[in-house]
Amino acid sequence: MSEHIHIMRSKFELEYNLNCSPKVLFSRLSTPEGLGEWFADQVNVDGDLFTFFWNSSESKAKLSAMKENKMVRFEWIGMENEESNFFEFRINLEELTNELALIITDFAEAEEKEDSIYLWDSQINDLKRALGI
């Protein structure tokens, strides 16, 4: 890959309102069992190294940050030197209304951004099914 491609990956954030408790959602974002219900076909974990399986492909990511019931960040292995090497889940609980939002931070090349958003939308539908909402 040329340096040119790396620079083209731009950050985007998606927000999804989910009618569930932070604790219930957090387990779906931070455990291999929970992530296997909606994010990937299968997830294996070895320490803080997660391996995600989709169809015939697999990707490895390191759990690099976690705040209980608040946030989880994974850094893709093999992209350590790039700023766009991670994806992150944040749980935002609006205190007044008690509405919960899942905020996803990810990166995509300009021509792949639409596909990435579509994929997240699809995965969040799977997550809602897993949560029964």
Q: What is the pLDDT of residue 6?
A: 47
pTM above 0.85, yes or no: yes
pLDDT for residue 7:
54
Angle at 76 between CA 84 and CA 119, to 5 degrees: 75
pLDDT, tens digit, for every residue of 114-123? 999 999 999 9
Q: What is d(CA 126, CA 50) in angstroms, rounded to the nearest whole number?
A: 20
Q: Is 7 left (phi over 0), alpha (psi -120 to 50) or beta?
A: alpha
> Which amino acid is residue 18, in one-letter code?
L
Please check whether residue 16 is in contact with residue 27, taking contact to mean a CB–CB distance below 8 angstroms: no
Q: 52 burial class (0-12, 13-18, 19+ CB within 10 angstroms)? A: buried
Residue 98: name the closest of 27, 38, 36, 21 by CA: 21
State residue 8's pLDDT score: 72
Tell me what pLDDT residue 1 has.
Answer: 44
Tally of CB atoms within 10 A around 64: 13
Which residues in the chain show pLDDT less than 70? 1-7, 80
Is-contact 70 90, C-beta < 8 A?
yes
The domains of the chain, with CATH numbers, are: 12-131 (3.30.530.20)
